[in-house]
A and B are shown apart, each in its own frame.
Chain A
């Protein structure tokens, strides 16, 4: 019951000004501001001028066009290259379906991800077939999203989960092939290279190190001494060794320890395993930090309801812990993706390895800057989209924790 009349509600004051006015107040408020602005602009132009001149005039961008195929897919046969596109298409469709199924509405975040292939199209060195392929990817993502969001609701969740679990094995089978000849002829993994190899290593590393890291983190908190000690020993050992040492161990030293009668394992498998094991140790510590954020009351409440230890982990502790560590998890994935470039040092021809191979060709001597600039741009675009997507995922999963802080 209100005794006094409610005070009249006022609209918040409008502080926004037109942008020319904003520019004026920010940069040209008085003569000294104007002077500083002009000096800064001159300085920036002078600084950027050589870089711009290199990009626009002196750089020999033809090195990228001439070597585009091997930079992107190594010595993977051109006739089989369509299989790579099918894999990319599958990944694009299922990722978009996942976004559609679980967000249910078109968001700005998803729009931005849809734009990624379109941004890649703008890279000047790409040729027409690649641009067409990227355009198709974009269309497939749109299709997948619509399917996920507006398809029959009862089955879409299951179909999406099935697709997501099958995507890695399916892609690997497609890439490897299974026939003696014809369109599905086997392409041995040692000729997979370039960006293709980088992406395979990063994806398998991410997909396998995540669950392994969760298991290790749980093992570290286990009440069983054997499990706990083994987990701690593993984590501490792997974290204490440089990745390059693990890669050398996997590629060069393993041969010396294993008896001859064992079949040799493909190099790509060995480095993939080394990267996964390395990343899992870091992931384990991230997950441990996440577990530490869950208040004891959450576990007590779950126990009081009669749920057992495993149910408590699966339904209450892990969903909250893994959500809390999304930013560090993505940090870990980005760092893993960049770490894949180290495999070039053990003789694998990933994007960097292929770049170095191109540089070894006398025809392209002195094109370091062009090659590494291209590699840098590609990595940045892919990593930035990963980071952007994760931020949207976080907002999507926010259940009022952020709001309640406001």
Chain B
């Protein structure tokens, strides 16, 4: 690989396929993401959206094809996997905060253990991040003492604490009560307007229309259509995309 040349794409998925047993969840996926791009992935449940973004930080292992993140190819090499994971932050549908640690410790754990930051340094950054997501006063509480929306914002702060180049969002608002969705989307909007590269699996069409540079529609393990936000919603080309948009809008 030519290491000297700065790659044009920060994420490159080439002919990626994956099976769960006999069932093929990803079928020959090709997706290239530029630095700073905001990609929203849509599709019916079971279409492989989550599996795709989970493959990008190797929470799922792809079986054929290549995935290259920031010039590092994901293989069985654990060192590469760790390098890639340091560059990628992830936010889950179920938050997955550590219930035995305070919000502060949730955020400082990885910077202190992986980046080897000093405690004071890590806490200072954590406090700034908590202010950015709007809940600095919750620093010393435990996750389960917070509302769902607050927990998800702590989870975003936790991912940001590793200063990742890429953020993956796996249905971040699907487990939230309706009145809490906005507070999380606001934080995501703020991120989308920054330099960060974002891959978001969501059902929030308003969010998708507003911030997505490109929209990816997946169905039955395939990428059916990729389009910019204008074209995608107003003139979808594929029949399946039209059907999906009719049902959802």
Cα of A206 to Cα of B162 in the assembled complex, Å = 40
Q: How far is the CB of A105 from chain B (nearest CB, A)?
A: 16
Q: How far is the CB of B40 from chain A (nearest CB, A)?
A: 20
Number of contacts between A and B (CB, 8 Å)? Answer: 78
**Nearest B residue to A309, CB-CB:** B78
Q: Select the residue from B82, B88, B144 with max chain A CB neighbours within 10 A.
A: B144
User: CB distance A319 to B100 under 8 Å?
Assistant: yes
Instruction: Indicate which residue in B59, B86, B100, B142 contacts A306 across the interface (CB closer than 8 Å).
Output: B86
Cα of A377 to Cα of B55 in the assembled complex, Å = 61
User: CB distance A399 to B100 under 8 Å?
Assistant: yes
Among B6-14, B89-97, B205-213, the stretch that binds chain A is B89-97
A323 at the interface (CB under 8 A from B): yes
User: CB distance A297 to B92 under 8 Å?
Assistant: yes
Instruction: Indicate which residue in B86, B99, B109, B155 contacts A399 across the interface (CB closer than 8 Å).
Output: B99
**Nearest B residue to A405, CB-CB:** B144
User: CB distance A400 to B144 under 8 Å?
Assistant: yes
Tell me how many residues of A have a C-beta within 8 Å of chain B: 24
Instruction: Categorize the interface residue count of chain B.
Output: 20 to 34
Cα of A319 to Cα of B99 in the assembled complex, Å = 10
User: CB distance A305 to B162 under 8 Å?
Assistant: yes
User: CB distance A300 to B59 under 8 Å?
Assistant: yes
User: CB distance A307 to B110 under 8 Å?
Assistant: yes
Residue-wise interface mask of A (283-316) relative to B, using a CB-CB cutoff of 8 A (1 in contact, 0 not): 0000000000001011011111111100100011
Using Cβ atoms and an 8 Å threshold, which residues of chain A touch B159? Answer: 304-305
B45 at the interface (CB under 8 A from A): no
User: CB distance A297 to B96 under 8 Å?
Assistant: yes
B165 at the interface (CB under 8 A from A): no
User: CB distance B162 to A301 under 8 Å?
Assistant: no
Using Cβ atoms and an 8 Å threshold, which residues of chain B touch A307? Answer: 109-110, 113-114
User: CB distance B85 to A305 under 8 Å?
Assistant: yes
B158 at the interface (CB under 8 A from A): yes
Instruction: Indicate which residue in B89, B94, B142 contacts A400 across the interface (CB closer than 8 Å).
Output: B142
B145 at the interface (CB under 8 A from A): yes
Cα of A319 to Cα of B142 in the assembled complex, Å = 15
User: CB distance A306 to B85 under 8 Å?
Assistant: yes
User: CB distance B99 to A320 under 8 Å?
Assistant: yes
User: CB distance A315 to B113 under 8 Å?
Assistant: yes
User: CB distance A305 to B143 under 8 Å?
Assistant: no
Instruction: Indicate which residue in A305, A319, A399 contacts B114 across the interface (CB closer than 8 Å).
Output: A305
Q: How far is the CB of A325 from chain B (nearest CB, A)?
A: 13
Residue-wise interface mask of A (349-375) relative to B, using a CB-CB cutoff of 8 A (1 in contact, 0 not): 000000000000000000000000000
User: CB distance B85 to A403 under 8 Å?
Assistant: no
User: CB distance B89 to A304 under 8 Å?
Assistant: yes
CB within 8 Å of A: which B69-108 residues: 78, 82, 85-86, 88-90, 92, 94, 96-101
Q: List 30 A-B contacts (CB under 8 A).
A: A295-B94, A297-B94, A297-B96, A298-B98, A301-B90, A301-B96, A301-B98, A301-B155, A302-B98, A303-B59, A304-B59, A304-B88, A304-B89, A304-B90, A304-B159, A305-B89, A305-B162, A306-B114, A307-B110, A307-B113, A311-B114, A316-B98, A320-B98, A399-B145, A400-B99, A400-B142, A400-B143, A400-B144, A400-B145, A401-B99
* 17 additional contacts (CB under 8 A) given A305-B109, A305-B158, A319-B100: A295-B94, A298-B96, A303-B59, A303-B85, A304-B59, A304-B89, A305-B85, A305-B110, A305-B114, A305-B162, A306-B114, A306-B162, A308-B78, A315-B109, A316-B98, A399-B142, A400-B99
